[in-house]
Structure 1
Amino acid sequence: MNQDSPLHPLLRARTAPKQPAFIELFFDLVYVFALTQLTHLLINDLTLKGGFEALVLLLALWWIWVLTAWMTDEFDPQHPSVQWYVILVMFGIFLMAIQVPEGFHGNGLFFAATFAAINFGRFFFVVRAARRTAVLNHVLRARFWSIISTLGWIPGAFVDGWARGALWLLALAVDYVSAALRWPTPWRLGRALGPALEITATHVAERYRQVFIIALGEIVLSMGMTFTGSDPDGFTLRRTVALVLSFASAALMWRLYVYQAGGQLGPAIAASPNPHRLSQWSSYAHMIMIAGTILTAVGFTLAMEHPIPHTPPSWVVGITGGPALFLVGRVGFEYVIFGRVTMPRLIGILALVGLSPVVIHLPSEVTLASTTFVLLALAATDTARGRRRPPQQAAPPA
């Protein structure tokens, strides 16, 4: 438990600032590169196999981000030891991101070994920093399952293709499922108790908002780089239309995220009887939304780079499937905050899915326009609802 005590010099004090520290903003910068690498991986291989590989790599990178965000919530990010720890993790993520294009080919062992090294480094840091505290038992529980997951990461690096993906996905399932079950362990360690650790609602909410904005920035970055780098003629009509629609879609996704739920995560965590569980489910919802933004960036980039009379089915997966996946995560996020789901977002998901078999017969910019229209309709519905009703207060499910 966080304490203002000389016995716990590295733990975050109750009186510490609740906003993310500069070291955390610096840490997030490496995820700009990581998400760009995942986007390019899908652009080069937008197939079922490529999508599966990108999913596994995203789950690995996201898991490290979540645990690092928890670390900087529990430990004082202003302390030099914590800052150096975060920088080392950041360097590890940087090395993993470099290997993303070859993660399922020649450099799988390097990727897996870096992931395992970050896990073990976290363990040794916390054992040193949190001895004689409730945090230590919490980390020992997590370490038990992390060691088991490593048994899938290292062998997975010595096989190829689908077999590697299956082993790595199994290892990640151990991490994700054990965390969802509060890291149950044998012997006297037992299961993590929610009240054993405090959580800073404002800090955690800001961290999720920041990483989602970085994901949206990937759409803008991909659009800008594609527009300026692929065609010497620059502002052709079709490419300019694709650029405008892509930017509009990114702005609408931001609007749909921040409307009510985006600003209520902190109060929801504070009001929840189990703030750790709510923060955990919020991380899953954000991961889905980020996956949707990456897929959107892929589809929009392909449509801008190669405007053609008919939209290939693989492009449709990105152009309509990416926003649909974002909305799936947004629906889950809304449930976490308010304990209910609004019908317009479900209709939006169905509309995007229903458009998919139709737009393959249409020019790529028409497909972009159709997707943008659905997002615009949802944003307009939110605006109309907001005028008729007072702002909703967070009411997380029990």
Structure 2
Amino acid sequence: MTDALPTRLRPTAEDASVTQLELFFDLVMVFAFTQVTDLAAHESSVLNLLRAFLVLAVMWWVWISYAWLGNVVQADEGLARVAMFAATGAGLIIALTIPEAFHSQPGGWHGPLVFAVGYLVVRLIHLGMFWLASSHDRQLRAQVVRWAAGSITIGTSLLIVAGTTTGTAQVWLWIVAVAGDMLWTLFAGNGWRLNSAGHFAERHGLVVIIALGESIVSIGVGVAGLSISGPIVVGALLGLAVSGLLWWAYFDVAAKVVERVLKRERGERRAQIARNCYTYWHFPMVAGIAGLALGLKKLLHQLGGTEGHTIHEALPAVPLYALYGGVAVYLLGLVGFRHYATRVVLWPRVLAAGVLIALLPAAVGMPAIAALGLLCAVLAGLIAWETVRYAQPRDAVRHAE
């Protein structure tokens, strides 16, 4: 790519940082996470959890598309700035429609179709900007054409069809749309450009922070309007500790190690690491945090003694499985993230995820606050063991010049 891009587009420099406009765009993602958690909490059923997961996958694909775009052209320069504002507006409409993504409410537009059309608009803006950005780069242009031929057709068309249906058929259309889009992107080629490894890694670190922030917000939402009490204080601090430990598991070493590998690689291998480690392995991390947020919201609400609940009651099965399963999925996502870049398997994290799954039958019968305390203890034990066991290499990674 050269500097002579059309409509005053500027290539992203190698030493670029995330722009303020990209952070503004991320505010839509903050709202979308809240909406997805509310959708999952609306009904305690596996089907409803599946719907929330599918909506989260679509919103992830919206976000990831513009993370790649902002790494090719500066998001706040020339026509890219206008495109980012337009995409932010369309993204907001999508986020507003999340509660109606599967069932339209009476008195307004048909929610599922509005969601799908908003998604189409976001994708077309993204495609148009990549088309312009690749005007002097034949390899990138070929990659964009190859990707768009299937991704736009599968992802957006099927969602539009799903917007006109209901029931089981609608859910299956969503599943095929999401899975088809992700698989097509995986096999469409490695001709993408990554101008700044630092920008790309920073961008994804910020989305992890956004997701963790939603887990903390869920604590507050769970106790909104309730009188402060001992169980609420203990539950809130335990929930915060769990979120903090997940932060530690990502940012202490793993994020730094993979970023350095990404900076060192070139060509197709660099594009593969960016796609597989960040586009794909970050999604289970974000989905896992969303499960944690749902569990914390339900748990704190229950600890407040609402609807006749007491602190001695167990958490219902669905939010408990979201709580434990979400953390386990997050840990496994981190394992995959690190392994693809370095070929190192973080076995302690695999073991910790397995322990959490094994503890689920016992946690089902525990008081909710005890189940949360047990989850926190497993994570604290994992982080403490890694910190002591790998003290020397950890110090080398964290303080390398």
Identify whether the pair has TM-score above 0.5, normalized to the shorter chain. yes
CA offset at residue 205 of structure 1?
A: 0.3
Report the alpha carbon displacement of residue 386 of structure 1 after superposing the two structures with TM: 3.2
Aligned residue runs from structure 1 range 57-206, under 5 A? 57-106=55-104, 107-134=111-138, 135-149=140-154, 150-181=156-187, 183=188, 192-194=189-191, 197-206=193-202
Gaps of 5+ in 2: 105-110, 304-309
1:306 aligns with 2:302: yes
Q: Contact 2:9/2:78 (CA < 8 Å) preserved in 1?
A: no
Q: Give the Cα–Cα distance (whole angstroms) in 2 for the partners of residues 171 and 318 of structure 1.
A: 24
CA distance in 2, matches of 1:313, 1:275: 42
CA distance in 2, matches of 1:204, 1:354: 36
Aligned-CA RMSD value: 2.0
Q: Equivalents in 1 of 2:394, 2:359: separation in Å?
A: 33
Q: Is the 8 A contact 1:99 1:111 kept in 2?
A: yes
Percent identical among aligned pairs is: 26
Counterparts of 2:23 and 2:2, CA distance in 1: 25
Shift of the alpha carbon at 1:67? 0.9
What amino acid is the match of 1:341? V
The farther-off stretch of 279-288 and 144-153 is 144-153
Compute the displacement of 1:390 (Å).
5.3
Judge conservation of contact 1:299–1:318 (CA < 8 Å) in 2. Answer: yes
- Distance in 2 separating the partners of 1:390 and 1:220: 27
What secondary structure is seen at the aligned counterpart in 2 of 1:306?
A: helix
Q: 2 CA distance for matches of 1:295 and 1:259?
A: 22
Distance change in 2, residues 1:348/1:45 (3 Å): same
- Counterpart secondary structure, 1:199: coil
1:276 corresponds to: 271
User: Which amino acid letter does the alignment assign opposite residue 124 of structure 1?
Assistant: G
Within a 5 Å distance, the mapping from 1:217-296 to structure 2 comes to 217-227=213-223, 229-231=224-226, 233-234=227-228, 236-272=229-265, 274-282=269-277, 283-296=279-292
Query: Residue by residue, what CA displacement relative to the aligned partner does 1:251-296 show, whole Å, maximum 9, x if unpaired?
Result: 1110011131112232121233511111111221111011111110
1:43/1:193 Cα in 2 relative to 1: closer, same or farther (>3 Å)?
A: closer
Q: Confirm or deny: 8 A CA contact 1:261 1:337 kept in the other structure.
A: no
Structure 1 residues 392 and 330: CA distance shift in structure 2, 3 A: farther
Q: TM-score, normalised by structure 1?
A: 0.90
More displaced 10-residue stretch of structure 1: 241-250 or 328-337: 328-337
Pair 1:34 & 2:32 matched: yes
Cα drift, residue 352 of structure 1: 0.6
Partner SS, residue 104 of structure 1: coil
State the partner residue of 2:323. Answer: 319
Does the CA-based 8 Å contact 2:151-2:184 persist in structure 1?
no
Q: CA deviation at 1:142?
A: 1.9
Q: CA deviation at 1:343?
A: 1.7
Q: Contact between 1:4 and 1:14, CA under 8 Å: does it hold in 2?
A: no
SS at match of 2:113: helix
Change (3 A) 1:193 1:350: closer
Distance 1:249 1:222 in 2: 13
The answer on whether the counterparts of 2:291 and 2:325 sit within 8 Å (CA) in structure 1 is yes
Query: What is the CA–CA distance in structure 2 between the aligned matches of 1:60 and 1:94, rounded to whole Å?
Result: 13
Structure 1 residues without counterparts, runs of 5 or longer: 184-191
> Structure 2 CA distance, aligned partners of 1:377 and 1:152?
45
TM-score using structure 2 length? 0.89
- Superposition deviation, residue 393 in structure 1: 6.3
| CA pair 46-336 structure 1, distance change in 2 beyond 3 A | farther
Distance 1:337 1:147, change over 3 A: closer
Deviation of the 1:230 alpha carbon: 3.4
